[in-house]
Structure 1
């Protein structure tokens, strides 16, 4: 894990002076908008004293103090309702790229390629990259509830806002973010109602409570189906934010290079930077392909040592398949780890885990049941991992397990 203070110091040292600096230096802004700042200071003393946040609200609402005050009051209420201070404390010192440190972040990092802080643009604003077209929405929906995903997004927004805030203070300049949205691979599977509702909810929170954080949003590789998503998302965006959105097809290199120098842009996007834009996980690595004949079952056994953790990931490729997992100890006493259940086909990867107690050793039996299908064989991908824990706590209930089969 990389400390954000280290990256703030590095990014602050990389600041490039220019027109953006002249227009966004806080000392200059405090003088230029002295009256507006005076009113905001009086109204929010002790509740929000950060000049950079006050300025973002003033800027977002055209320096109309009454509207800016109303919107900031709403944000303070939102912070209270969403335990903002606790989240702020939890993300303190985290780099925005440390996705796995956020609630649900391990799954998001695995199934939604993104790099929140990749480099700097020509104005020394942060460049972030997200690849919705490479996301696996079925896996995200299967293993994260709407509340879980919303929690992840909230933690991410707070962390990014805090990072940008610290960078702004370090430079003395209002720092924003340029985001590259790569839609390569986007299809109808990404545009279900639930996914669009989640996206709209996320944009709504960002628009209302993290105002003036974006410099540009550059959408590249936009396919025809993007029009469906844009029709839903656009009404949520303020007019000012809509003007920051730049939509390109496959000929996007010149657009990116207009805002981002070659040395700060990945080679895959027409730049010179050798770091990959995002980390793409190999979701097939470690899986064994199995064929379950029609009307038959196949069993797979795993030797279990005391305190061992057994984890499994299973996906049915064509039709559904039955799965059960049992444990038999050395005294031939059997217990159920996972009761019989159907794994739906082409839906998502079923994952589960079970931990043997410090006294348990024996065999875990995975049974793939296709006996109910008289004419159709099934293709199943299976990955079973084991790991021994040191000083494993004793589990008195031998059936204790965690299974995601019902999700």
Structure 2
């Protein structure tokens, strides 16, 4: 049996004695604060606790949190102890114990992050609501950075631990986890922005390693058809036990409300999900103004190989008459091409072409290159003069192709972007073939200058693109079709029974 004395609130007394006689008090403590434990589970808890006390000085996780690590490792003491040891070091390195006291949420998070704690579910677990479909992933990441989003997540988790402990004391029964409601209304391809997904994966990795078994239930509501793509990207990084706690509903209105009533008291169902309970503590969500973005130059100065804002972008430049072109072969129809770029200096036009021909990728110019290193004297004069007096091919990489012929067409018409603009886009590739992204400096039609100031004819930008192959998520789309109804359905794959093991009926 556990041999430490605790007061009625579950806190350790200052004077600690190891005793055996006071078994009634200890049994009551276990019942109220830890839940039903088998003799083996109780002995494993004592084993890991006393082992940690012998090897670590300072603050250690309490019994309830140690149990989370043990459950995450199926009560394998050696594996759980390694996990706790790494978490203790991590907490010290990042000063996590003081994050609720010392970290202040940036203004952009207070105003635009659409998440908050919201009462509790029917099991008494604290409930957190995240309106993911209303989150401007790129705007949030560009305005406050990865570090602040990680700290936001840690503050939510630390707050969750405190709320679970308070619920335990209030209800007189163990509450070791919390509930999460994720509203996907508004989710679109822009939420698949790769730096945002990478940031999410980093957060999942941290939470899985340091806050195991804290997620009691995840209710995903109003899931659109793009959700399977997102789920395919992130689900491999979520622990199998946690994946089994995800329940998805694609319904809305009164049917969804009826389903929510099975898990949440009607008086606590949020107003935006058909209930009457207001969620005034949540941010508004919506697009973050670009005026709140951190300067790109400042971000570049802090770039690192593991920073998703910088590790995947290409820095390049285009001069008048000499566009930047990225050739993308698509072998299978049904893929989705996504892109993102920022115009750092001057203006440019962006277009997307499609060709039935096979085209070789031209070398992409580095943004730091001078035009004198890539253009000969005649080309330099042509680039500087520009204008209608000098005709340029539709594609620099395949000048023999003309728009309007069967071999070349415009998929996305030219759109002008000005200095400081940031663009996310996607295109459904209905045909197999070659797609070409193109950025070019706009041609002047009248009163163009004949100056040889190459800086005025240069546009600098950073970009990245990604192909979402339909084969990677087609299976998820099929498996999640059952989630299109208003009823909640599990999205965890069924684990095949071990040979010789009887099936449950």
Q: Give the TM-score normalised by the residue count of structure 2.
A: 0.48
Counterpart of 1:265 in structure 2 is: 269
CA separation in 2, counterparts of 1:58 and 1:44? 13
Task: Give how far 1:68 is off.
Answer: 1.6
Task: Give how far 1:278 is off.
Answer: 3.8
Counterpart of 2:67 in structure 1 is: 55
Q: Quick check: 1:83 aligned with 2:86?
A: no
1:178 is paired with a residue of what secondary structure?
Answer: strand
Q: 1:72 to 1:152 in 2, by over 3 A?
A: same
Q: 1:27 to 1:136 in 2, by over 3 A?
A: closer
CA contact (8 A) 1:268 1:277 kept: no
2:277 is paired with a residue of what secondary structure?
Answer: coil
Moved more, 229-238 or 25-34: 25-34
Task: Give how far 1:164 is off.
Answer: 2.8
1:259 is paired with a residue of what secondary structure?
Answer: coil
Q: 1:285-318, CA deviations, whole angstroms, 9 ceiling, x for partnerless residues? A: 9x9xxxxxxxxxxxxxxxxxxxxxxxxxxxx9xx
CA contact (8 A) 1:25 1:174 kept: no
Q: Quick check: 1:254 aligned with 2:255?
A: no
Task: Give how far 1:246 is off.
Answer: 0.5
Question: Where do 1:104-183 residues align within 5 Å?
Answer: 104=106, 106-115=107-116, 117-172=117-172, 173-183=174-184
Counterpart of 1:242 in structure 2 is: 243
CA contact (8 A) 2:96 2:154 kept: no
Q: 1:159 to 1:274 in 2, by over 3 A?
A: closer
CA contact (8 A) 1:24 1:174 kept: no
Counterpart of 2:421 in structure 1 is: 345
Q: 1:275 to 1:144 in 2, by over 3 A?
A: closer
Higher relative contact order (CA 8 A, sep 6+): 2
1:258 is paired with a residue of what secondary structure?
Answer: coil
CA separation in 2, counterparts of 1:63 and 1:227? 33
CA contact (8 A) 2:125 2:167 kept: no
Q: Give the TM-score normalised by the residue count of structure 1.
A: 0.58
CA separation in 2, counterparts of 1:273 and 1:192? 32
Which of 33, 40, 43 is equivalent to 2:51?
Answer: 43
1:249 is paired with a residue of what secondary structure?
Answer: coil
Task: Give how far 1:146 is off.
Answer: 2.1
The unaligned stretches of length 5 or more in structure 2 are 1-8, 10-29, 292-342, 349-417, 425-441, 447-505
Counterpart of 2:435 in structure 1 is: none
CA separation in 2, counterparts of 1:276 and 1:114? 10
- Structure having the higher Rg: 2
CA separation in 1, counterparts of 2:443 and 2:129? 45
CA separation in 1, counterparts of 2:445 and 2:422? 19
Counterpart of 1:72 in structure 2 is: 84
1:218 is paired with a residue of what secondary structure?
Answer: strand
Counterpart of 1:400 in structure 2 is: none
Q: 1:193 to 1:346 in 2, by over 3 A?
A: closer
Q: 1:88-117, CA deviations, whole angstroms, 9 ceiling, x for partnerless residues? A: 5536xxxxxxxxx33x3x2123223111x1
Counterpart of 1:363 in structure 2 is: none
What is the CA RMSD across the aligned residues, in angstroms? 3.5
CA contact (8 A) 1:111 1:139 kept: no
Q: 1:140 to 1:69 in 2, by over 3 A?
A: same
Q: 1:152 to 1:274 in 2, by over 3 A?
A: closer
Task: Give how far 1:152 is off.
Answer: 2.8
Q: 1:39 to 1:232 in 2, by over 3 A?
A: same
CA separation in 2, counterparts of 1:146 and 1:274? 30
Question: Where do 1:173-322 residues align within 5 Å?
Answer: 173-251=174-252, 252-275=256-279, 278-280=282-284
CA separation in 2, counterparts of 1:130 and 1:157? 14
Q: 1:188-228, CA deviations, whole angstroms, 9 ceiling, x for partnerless residues? A: 11111100001111111111101111111111111121112
